[in-house]
Amino acid sequence: MDLPGRPFPLPCPHPPLHPCRPESRVWTVMLLLGTCLLYCARVTVPICAIALSTHFDWDKKQSGIVLSSFFWGYCLTQIIGGHISDQIGGEKVLLLSASAWGFLTVLTPLLTHLTSAHLIFMTCSRFLMGLLQGVYFPSLASLLSQKVRESERAFTYSTVGTGSQFGTLVIGGAGSLLLDWYGWESVFYFSGLLTLLWVYCTCKYLLSEKELIIPIDYLIRSLSITKQTKVPWKQLFRKAPIWAVIIAQLCTASTFFTLLSWLPTFFKETFPESKGWVFNVVPWLVAIPTSLFSGFLSDHLINQGYKTITVRKFMQVIGSGVSSIFALCLGQTSSFCKAIVFASASVGLQTFNHSGISVNVQDLAPSCAGLLFGVGNTGGALLGVICVYLAGHLIETTGSWISVFNLVAAVNSIGLCAFLMFGAAQRVDTDSAYMDL
How many other β-carbons are positioned within 10 Å of the β-carbon of residue 431? 9
Q: What percent of the chain has pLDDT over 90?
A: 27
> What pLDDT is recorded for position 168?
78
Look at residues 382, 384, 390, 383 and name the one whose alpha carbon lies nearest to residue 406. 390
Alpha helices, H only, 134-149: 136-147
Look at residues 166, 146, 213 and name the one whose alpha carbon lies nearest to residue 29. 166
Mean pLDDT of the 298-317 span: 91
> What pLDDT is recorded for position 208?
62
Q: Which residues contact 97 (CB under 8 A, 6 or more apart)?
A: 81, 132, 133, 135, 136, 139
Q: What is the pLDDT of residues 343-401, one digit of tens each?
A: 999 999 998 998 888 888 878 877 777 777 778 778 877 887 788 888 888 888 888 89
pLDDT at 267 over 70: yes
Mean pLDDT of the 127-137 span: 91
Question: What would the 3-class secondary structure string for 146-200 be?
Answer: HHCCHHHHHHHHHHHHHHHHHHHHHHHHHHHHHHHHHCHHHHHHHHHHHHHHHHH
| Backbone angles phi and psi of 351, in degrees to 5 | -70, -15
Question: Buried (b) or exposed (e) across 91-102, using 16+ Cβ within 10 A?
Answer: bbbbbebbbbbb
Q: Give the chain's domains with CATH numbers.
A: 22-223 (1.20.1250.20), 232-430 (1.20.1250.20)
How many other β-carbons are positioned within 10 Å of the β-carbon of residue 272? 7
> What pLDDT is recorded for position 19?
39
> What pLDDT is recorded for position 24?
66
Mean pLDDT of the 399-420 span: 93
> What pLDDT is recorded for position 22?
58
Measured CA distances, 40 to 7, 60, 203 (Å): 30, 23, 20
Mean pLDDT of the 41-69 span: 85
Amino acid residing at 193: L
Q: Are 69 and 123 in contact (CB under 8 A)?
A: yes
Look at residues 232, 245, 189 and name the one whose alpha carbon lies nearest to residue 421. 245
| Backbone angles phi and psi of 65, in degrees to 5 | -65, -45
Angle, helix 90-112 to helix 118-133, in steps of 10 degrees: 170
> What pLDDT is recorded for position 54?
87
Residue of 84 and 416 predicted with greater confidence = 416
Mean pLDDT of the 395-412 span: 90
> What pLDDT is recorded for position 227?
45
Q: Would you place residue 260 in the very low, low, confident or very high pLDDT band (cuts 50, 70, 90)?
A: confident
Look at residues 84, 367, 76 and name the one whose alpha carbon lies nearest to residue 221. 84
Burial of 414 (0-12, 13-18, 19+ CB in 10 A): middle
Lowest mean pLDDT among 24-33, 50-59, 221-230: 221-230
> What pLDDT is recorded for position 435?
36
